[in-house]
Structure 1
Amino acid sequence: MPAPRLFLLFSHALTGEQERDARTSLGVEEILALPENLQQRWSNVPPNLATLDEHLQPVLDWLGDQARPGDYVLIQGDFGAVYRAVRFALEHGLTPLYATTARRVKETRLPDGRVESNRVFQHVRYRRYE
């Protein structure tokens, strides 16, 4: 049986830490990003659409054509798109995941009374949608 692959329905590139974790904790050998035209579609969901079915169909068609049962799908983005993609993954025997992060915030009070906030996000693990 071939090693599972990780498909990215994700708005940005994986960090080195996220990639290493996928290879070690999930056992994936191959990580596949959306083609550029579909990446643009996933990352830019128009807020004025009443339904996302037509907008997301090319992304889901690609995933359905490329993925096989047992593969992982990292799904993060627009809430409605995520919901639809998670349902699609589960219906097709794929394992939908999201990345968890630890957040550290440092706030500095500036001389003029404003507050400057610096946020650092660090990958912790992948978690399955259940």
Structure 2
Amino acid sequence: MQSLFLLFNHTLTPAQEADARASLGVDRIVTPPQDLRAVWSGVPPDLPEISPYLKAVRDWLLAEARLADYVLIQGDFGACYLMVRFAFDFGMIPVYATTRREAVEEPQPDGTIKITHHFNHRRFRKYGV
């Protein structure tokens, strides 16, 4: 059975979890420990190089993931790039979630417009090589 490891700044929605189980065939969804979630969601913008910063995340995946496990990778662009390459190098399958986005505009009494965005999960897509 395959697992889905989350490198993701949000909590999976019920629709995403159901889709992961159905379309990816995973039986286990693994959230990183709190300290690693903080690392992933808090990539410092002033670091000139982030590979050393992500070492604990790489070490966690190497210790926990198996060949052909999925890794949901979304977040800081540079961190995503590095972790997607890492996942490919170690036989994991990196994926990202796609959404349909809808905006609803509501005129307000003061003349401003309130815009509400709705994101609806569509699928998981594999990163290309």
Bucket of the pairwise TM-score, normalised by the shorter protein: over 0.9
What corresponds to 1:44 in structure 2?
42
- Name the TM-score, length of structure 2 as normaliser: 0.96
Supply the distance in 2 between the matched residues of 1:39 and 1:112 (Cα, whole angstroms). Answer: 40
What corresponds to 1:60 in structure 2?
58
2:116 to 115, 118, 127: 118
What corresponds to 2:74 in structure 1?
76
Runs of 4+ in 1 over 6 A off after TM superposition: none
**Offset from partner CA, 1:52-85 (integer Å, 9 cap, x none):** 0111010011001111111000000000000000
- Name the TM-score, length of structure 1 as normaliser: 0.96
Q: How many residues in Structure 1 have an aligned counterpart in Structure 2?
A: 128
**Offset from partner CA, 1:12-57 (integer Å, 9 cap, x none):** 1101110000001111000001111000000111100000011101
CA RMSD across the alignment: 0.8
**5+ residue gaps in structure 2?**
none
**5+ residue gaps in structure 1?**
none
Supply the distance in 2 between the matched residues of 1:43 and 1:21 (Cα, whole angstroms). Answer: 24
